[in-house]
């Protein structure tokens, strides 16, 4: 009886152990199945991952192409800019030329070193009945001006009146008319240019100075560091 009971308890204990074992095996099996299905889900996820990566690569490719295009555009813009800069240079040169020509034409005030020639009527000589022998005539002025222009003067004024390409000088008795303005003696001829060249051109032996002095005209020459010639204000 005791032995039988012992066997029975043994059976029960073994049954419990088997129950636990069966439960564990079954449960583990289920968990593993779940993990497997999850694995499949991960597969689809992986596929999605792959497609996303492909898309990303495509986008990168596109980005690179766009970047290349952008670089090309930048290059074009730079070309345009340099072209513009060249044009600006051209315009600048043109403006400079215009300024220079304006100076030559007497439209603006000019300034520079040069010489000042003063021609005065000679002393009154009672022995000489002809007063024209010691007056300053237009041809005297012309000679000086021509000589100055030949020597490279860039701007000349008579008594402050700027001469231009179409100026005229008239002898009107004791006065000289320059472009309609009358000026009495003495005549101050200012010229802008190389002072040494101009003065030596005038002082040359047998040159203008000697001729004028022969004509009883008082001739004085001054080299000046700064001569300012005003623009032509108008014309009569």
Task: Report the interface residues with another protein, using CB under 8 A.
Answer: 10-32, 34-35, 38
Minimum CB distance to another protein, residue 47 (Å)? 21
Smallest gap from residue 2 Cβ to another protein (A): 15
**Cα–Cα dist 193/125, whole Å:** 36
Q: Min. distance of Cβ 13 from another protein in angstroms?
A: 6
Q: Give 20 or 131: the residue with its C-beta nearer to another protein.
A: 20
Q: Do the beta carbons of residue 227 and residue 192 sit within 8 Å? A: yes
CB nearer to another protein: give 23 or 142. 23
**Closer Cβ to another protein, 28 or 54, answer by number:** 28
Nearer to another protein, 46 or 142 (CB): 46
Return the structure tokens found at 211.
Answer: 């001729």
Residues 6 or more apart whose CB falls under 8 angstroms from that of 112 comprise 154, 155, 192, 193, 226, 227
**Rounded to a whole number, what is the largest CA-CA distance in the chain?**
192
Least Cβ distance, residue 35 to another protein (angstroms): 5
* Distance in angstroms (rounded) separating the CA atoms of residues 163 and 171: 16
């Amino acid at each position: 009886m005791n032995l039988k009971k012992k066997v029975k308890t043994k059976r029960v204990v073994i049954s419990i152990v088997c129950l636990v074992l069966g439960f564990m095996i079954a449960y583990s099996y289920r968990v593993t199945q779940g993990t497997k299905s999850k694995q499949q889900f991960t597969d689809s996820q992986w596929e999605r991952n792959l497609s996303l990566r492909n898309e990303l690569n495509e986008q990168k490719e596109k980005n690179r192409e766009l970047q290349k295009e952008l670089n090309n555009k930048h290059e074009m813009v730079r070309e345009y800019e340099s072209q513009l800069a060249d044009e600006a240079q051209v315009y600048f040169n043109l403006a400079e030329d215009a300024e220079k020509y304006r100076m030559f034409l007497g439209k603006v005030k000019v300034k520079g070193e040069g010489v000042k020639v003063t021609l005065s009527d000679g002393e009154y000589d009672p022995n000489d009945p002809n007063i024209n022998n010691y007056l300053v005539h237009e041809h005297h002025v012309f000679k000086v001006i021509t000589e100055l222009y030949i020597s490279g003067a860039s701007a000349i004024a008579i008594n402050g009146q700027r001469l231009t390409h179409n100026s005229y000088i008239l002898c009107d008795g004791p006065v000289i008319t320059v472009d309609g303005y009358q000026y009495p003696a003495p005549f101050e001829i200012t010229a802008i240019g190389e002072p040494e060249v101009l003065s030596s051109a005038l002082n040359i032996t047998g040159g203008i100075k000697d001729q004028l002095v022969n004509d009883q005209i008082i001739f004085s020459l001054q080299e000046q560091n700064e001569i300012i010639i005003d623009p032509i204000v108008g014309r009569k």
